[in-house]
Amino acid sequence: MHPITLADGTPVPTLGQGTWKLGERGADRAAEAATLRLGLELGLTLIDTAEMYADGGAEEVVAEAIAGRRDEVFLVSKAYPQNASARRLPEACERSLRRLKTEVIDLYLLHWRGSVPLAETAAAMRALQAAGKIRHWGVSNLDVSDLKELGGDLPDCATDQVLYNLESRGVEFDLLPFCRDRRMPVMAYSPLGQAGALLRHPALARVARRQNATPAQVALAWTLREPGVISIPKASDEQHLRDNLGARMMVLTPEDLVELDAAFPPPRRKQPLDML
């Protein structure tokens, strides 16, 4: 895999652990935390969460998983757009810090754009940095026009987290090149698609057979095939976690990429930004 660094030189793991839908059932939380802890032990030290996930429940699961190991983790969380104002963002950040049982969030993102002006959100993020509450800030689900609105070359906006997988390739037309030119990694959420349909595609099955791998590993390796992308799949159990890990060293061949492009054509024009 290609090494990833933020614009200020901070190294960031290329493959992480997502937490969407974790923490929704109290009975599952111990097992969910155990899976995240196993991921840490296996080297998946980036964990992505959000105040939206299970109304903070996912952040509580993450807190249990990283207890006693906080220094090993690159911790990412996200704020609701309605909480992105100068007054409300510090309050939302404090709630996330309490749920995560940590003093600082490594990367804090605007989850998607709402009615708060982006300039106000950026100023509030920088104030949180100055106060030592967050180390870096970024955005999620923002398109090129939104990023341009933030202004300049985005020297301190660390990332844009977007939907990116074989079925959702629109960002390749303009967003990925735009971010790469500014040394701003893109974080790919839902890299395995939704409801399993992507992983049942015959083209993925054929590539997986050639690679002696699973379709999920192929789909993940595809998101990591070029510089500038961090992939954050969720792993709901140990087997899924180990499957995800298997993608780290996979090198897709030109034949593999041609077959995947034929099945999932790259964009030839600007497309609306896909979101979940």
- CA distances 271 to 62, 149, 167, 228, 274, Å, are 35, 19, 13, 20, 8
Residue with tokens 């950026």: 122
Name the strand (E) or helix (H) holding 245. helix 238-245
What is the 8-class DSSP label of residue 88? H
Whether residue 189 lies in the annotated active site: no
What are the tokens at 180? Answer: 């790469």
Residue 126 near residue 118, CB atoms below 8 Å:
no
Cα–Cα distance for residue pair 141/117, rounded to 1 Å: 15
> C-alpha distances in angstroms, 16 versus 6, 153, 229, 245?
15, 26, 11, 9
CA separation (Å) from 254 to 1, 251, 258, 261?
16, 10, 6, 10
What percent helix, strand, coil does the chain show, rounded to 5?
Answer: 45, 15, 40
Marked catalytic residue, from 53, 108, 164, 189: 53
d(CA 65, CA 49): 12
Look up residue 51 and give its two tokens.
Answer: 């105040």
Catalytic residue ranges:
53
